[in-house]
Amino acid sequence: MATSELFPYSKTGGLADMVAGLAGALAQSGHEVRVVTPLYRGVRERFPELKPFDWHCELPMGSKRVAAGVWTTTSADGVLTYFVDASAYFGRPHLYQEDGHSYADNPERFIFFSKCVTHLARYLPWRPDVVHLHDWQVAMVPLLIRHQATHDHWVSPPRTCLTIHNLAYQGTCQREHFQLTNLPLEYFNADGPEFYGSFNPLKAGLHYADCLTTVSPSYAKEITTPEMGAGLDSVLRQRGTALSGILNGVDYAEWNTTRNPHLPHAYSADNLAGKAKNKAELQAALGLPVKPDVPLFASITRLAEQKGMTLLHDVLQTELEKPIQFVLLGEGDPGIEGLCTQLAQQHRDRVAVRIGYDNALAHRIEAGADFFLMPSKYEPCGLNQLYSLRYGTIPVVRATGGLKDSVVDIAQKPKTGTGVKFTDYTMANLAKAIQRAQSLYADKAKMAATVHRAMKADFSWQTSAGKYAKRFAALGADQILAATAVAN
């Protein structure tokens, strides 16, 4: 697997969790899994168990050559990770951007990383059957492999699978960046990375990967439409038989309520006393009045329009006139950060906002809140609604992508419902959903039954990993065909 971020070493969102969870589940199922990711600043200091690996490369980048080394570590579940060490590209304060502005050389950084991934896949003594790529940062790898197989005597190259975590992020840049690939210009066409005269790495992957997946069945359908296809819907329709959606899973060893070092009080579906205590301590820690009978709503999110944060802000202006509390943890768009901070200042006794990301606090919020708000414009999969279910924190979500696939509306299915869903992206519909949640909270018996069902819902990675194994097997790799029985 190749990814630009990997939990616990680097993370800006769900991509890091997904790759770590899937890799671990596949390894536990009997597959041999290795992951390639950049060595970002501070990783070696925070994880001193990393060891230097006897591998060094010097790869062409246009007219120059760039060198890199590798460090490795092996996780408890047997996944070996290679960290590409190129400090000029990856030794920076952040992964992709600073002060709200993307690094200008991001295309160059991840073209180089893609070349390193390809180089490792070809020259390691250990040879992969499948190279699984994640998002635009490594979407050039299928084309690089294809070119070396057809023009550079790479015998029996691995098959490739590209997973789209969010189609909106494509890495599009000026066409001049294509020269950094050192590929013949003939590849720069409409059936490859050319996109209205620009260079689009993700588009190259959509054309050249042997199979395509995305992170929920509903999102796989949505992105083939002009409304949700971000300009690439026609390409995805052309690759229709190669595209499938597999819902992300949850690492329940990390996200659990009974053996969690981040939670002051353990609890379970059958004993919720600890959840009530976690709520009280969270309220106190964030400076909110400790009121057990007031519903506590929460969001842990990237502060972006995609996540529906402006819509949520506008709705809360009215809903906060009622006896509710709201907690937010996140960072992103400076304008949205300002709106959220202002909301907290206006409602000091009802709103607590923390700008940034704090993993321990994220667990405490999930455990202490009563409801989790995800009013996304679109959501390829979403992970926090899955975490919330396990933590007995009822999701209030817009029915899109993975939110639609993973949350069962209590109004539509009262006996199996696990959350509240709304469809149309409007203030009125979100307000109504929040009001439905308040009504649910007021009905103690119904609320308790919903919490119990939510905590019993199973979105373990083992189920999702088995589906990925079948996709890989369909690519025709003999060893994987033999191993699929283990995964099932």
Tell me how far apart the alpha carbons of residues 292 and 285 are, in angstroms, rounded to a whole number: 15
Per-residue pLDDT at 100: 77
Domain residue ranges in the chain: 14-249+461-487, 273-456
Tell me the C-alpha distance between 363 and 327, whole Å. Answer: 13
Whether the predicted pLDDT of 261 surpasses 60: yes
Fold match between domain 14-249+461-487 and domain 273-456:
yes
161 bridge partner residues: 132, 211
Of 138, 182, 181, 195, the closest CA to residue 161 belongs to 138
**Amino acid 486: pLDDT:** 31
Q: Is the pLDDT at 478 greater than 70, yes or no?
A: no
Per residue in 92-149, pLDDT tens?
Answer: 999 999 887 899 999 999 999 999 999 999 999 999 999 999 999 999 999 999 999 9
Q: How confident is the model at residue 484 (pLDDT cuts 50, 70, 90)?
A: very low
Task: Give CATH for domain 14-249+461-487.
Answer: 3.40.50.2000
Q: What is the pLDDT of residue 479?
A: 41
Look at the alpha carbons of 12, 17, 20, 22 in this order and tell me if their dihedral is positive or negative: negative
On average, the pLDDT of the chain sits at 95
Rg (CA), the chain: 23
Task: Examine the pLDDT at 81 and tell me if it is beyond 60.
Answer: yes
Q: Fill in the amino acid letter for 454.
A: A
Q: Does domain 273-456 have CATH number 3.40.50.2000?
A: yes
> pLDDT per residue over 289-333, tens digit each?
999 999 999 999 989 999 999 999 999 999 999 999 999 999 989
The pLDDT, as a whole number, for residue 215 is 97
* Structure-token pair, residue 441: 């909270």
Give me the pLDDT at residue 381, please: 96
The model carries a pTM of 0.90
